[in-house]
Chain A
Amino acid sequence: MNPHANMIIMSSLILGPMITITSNHWIMAWVGLEINMLAIIPLIAKQHHPRAIEASIKYFLTQAAASSLLLFSIINNVWNTGQFDITQSTNTMSSTMMTAALTMKLGLAPFHYWLPETLQGTTTMMTLILTTWQKLAPLTLLMMINQSLNTSLLVTLSLLSMMIGGWGGLNQTQLRKIMAFSSIAHLGWMTMILTLSTKLTLLTFYTYITLTTTMLLTIKLLETNKMSTAMTSWTKSPMLNAMMMLNLMSLAGLPPLTGFMPKWLILQELTKNHMTIIATTSAILSLLSLFFYIRIAYYSTITLPPNMTNYSQQWRHKNQQKPYLPLMIITSSMLTPIMPTFMMIM
């Protein structure tokens, strides 16, 4: 791609969510979302490959439908209340439609079908952007309107997406699709706590970004994009391969790794609000995700040689050192003990 075009696209990719996050006016928030969507489509469609085109069409159609639905609910709200303030979206029908539109943008169940397919059609770096940066703006909007959201609707959606995220991932062998389902399950945890405590949503989101970034960078470095190539990843970087298991366990939320911290706090908040049954259900649903994470760990780390593979090119691999990766792995696996600090600064 032309470097000038690339720079314009990347800067507007960053600019879009920034506008959304800083705006207080619904139209500007919508404009930010639109800029972001306009910027990311060329990046997805960059490789001239049928899969990339298909992924970008699917992404475009869902995002365009979601943003026009969002605009529709905004205008409905304006016609009924007369103001464009984001935090004042008090109309019930509008806020329900906004929930639907924003969850469609996020990829929460039952609006999740585009997410695994889009991620499968792109590169690993684009997967990273799609699963982390692209979630920022819609999630911020959801947090800003959390006063007018319906708790039972959101809890239903989040339980559903935990279920879909768990069960869908069980069936996959492609690592990017698995990461997509893991993203759906994590988004379930974020929306679960959205109406009760937005700070915890933010904390879960930060943790999710840290873990997913580390995992996807590891996948990129090891060049494993499915289970069968994960079996030979130990030849490239044995230490990173061993750490990948810890990272996967952390994604699954096993104590005492970082991923356990947000789950712990969310469960605590839920039990404090007398939602014990929901807390137990969501805790047990996270076991479904654990199963496919542990399967990746079995393939990549636990079963070492003699594992034969058909991919002979795998052996001719230039070993690259990434200085930021050790730091990220430490962050994504050992952050739980400093939880009190987190709770103080948030």
Chain B
Amino acid sequence: MTPLHLSYFMAFIISMTGFMLHRTSLISTLLCLEAMMLSLFIATSLCPIQLQTTSFMLNPMLILTFSACEASLGLSLLVASSRTHNPNNLQNLNLLQC
């Protein structure tokens, strides 16, 4: 495992752990999601270095675009939920529990 590989791997794992465990506020969850996507963006951008191929920047751009879309969708959901729920406590989302 090269240092490059290790760095994006650890970044993803740590932000995923944050996503799973840190669940008081929706905004922090969205930030963790964004961190996951950004670590993946970095990994895709560094792919040509690892594989020693010609630089092909379409994949990172696609990923960045869609992560931006995802983030904006998450923020809009945050806004929508702020009208009905307390956005600072994800535990309030319990209307539909089995």
Interface residues of chain A, those whose CB is within 8 Å of chain B, are: 27, 30-31, 34, 37-38, 41, 45, 48-51, 53-58, 60-61, 64-65, 68-69, 71-72, 75-76, 78-79, 82, 116-118, 120-121, 168, 171-172, 177
With A78-B47, A171-B98 as contacts: A58 and B16 at CB distance below 8 Å: no
> Which of B43, B51, B69, B95 has the most chain A CB atoms closer than 10 A to its own CB?
B95
Interface residues of chain B, those whose CB is within 8 Å of chain A, are: 5, 8-9, 12, 16, 19, 26, 29, 33, 36-37, 40, 43-44, 47, 50-51, 53, 59, 62-63, 66, 69-70, 73-74, 77, 80-81, 83-85, 93, 95-98
Assess whether A61 is in contact with B51, with CB atoms less than 8 Å apart.
no
Assess whether A61 is in contact with B98, with CB atoms less than 8 Å apart.
no
Assess whether B98 is in contact with A172, with CB atoms less than 8 Å apart.
yes
Interface secondary structure of A, over-half rule:
helix
Contacts of A58 in B (CB 8 A): 93, 96
Assess whether A78 is in contact with B51, with CB atoms less than 8 Å apart.
yes
Contacts of B47 in A (CB 8 A): 75, 78-79
Assess whether B74 is in contact with A64, with CB atoms less than 8 Å apart.
yes
Q: How many angstroms between the C-alpha atoms of A116 and B84 in the bound complex? A: 21
Nearest 10 interchain pairs by C-beta: A50-B84, A117-B96, A34-B66, A68-B36, A54-B93, A75-B43, A120-B96, A82-B51, A53-B81, A71-B40
Picked from A34, A41, A48, A54, the residue with its CB within 8 Å of the CB of B85 is: A54
Contacts of A56 in B (CB 8 A): 77, 80
Picked from B8, B66, B80, B97, the residue with its CB within 8 Å of the CB of A53 is: B80
Q: How many angstroms between the C-alpha atoms of A55 and B51 in the bound complex? A: 41
Q: How far is the CB of B76 from chain A (nearest CB, A)?
A: 8
Q: How far is the CB of A71 from chain B (nearest CB, A)?
A: 5
Nearest residue (CB) in B for A34 is: B66
Picked from A31, A68, A118, A177, the residue with its CB within 8 Å of the CB of B40 is: A68
Picked from B26, B50, B62, the residue with its CB within 8 Å of the CB of A57 is: B26
Contacts of B12 in A (CB 8 A): 72
Contacts of A60 in B (CB 8 A): 73-74, 77
